[in-house]
Structure 1
Amino acid sequence: MTYATLKPVSQAFEQRKRLIFVRVAAALAVLLLFLTKPGLS
Structure 2
Amino acid sequence: MTYATLKPVSQAFDQRKRLIFVRVAAALAVLLLFLT
After TM superposition, give the deviation of residue 2 of structure 1 in Å.
0.4
After TM superposition, give the deviation of residue 12 of structure 1 in Å.
0.1
After TM superposition, give the deviation of residue 27 of structure 1 in Å.
0.1
How many residue pairs get aligned? The number is 36
After TM superposition, give the deviation of residue 26 of structure 1 in Å.
0.1
Q: Return the index of the structure with the highest Cα Rg.
A: 1
Which structure has more relative contact order (CA 8 Å, sep 6+)? It is 1
Which structure 1 residue ranges, 5 or more long, are not aligned?
37-41
Query: CA-to-partner distance for each residue in 1:17-37, whole Å, 9 max, x for gaps?
Result: 00000000000000000100x
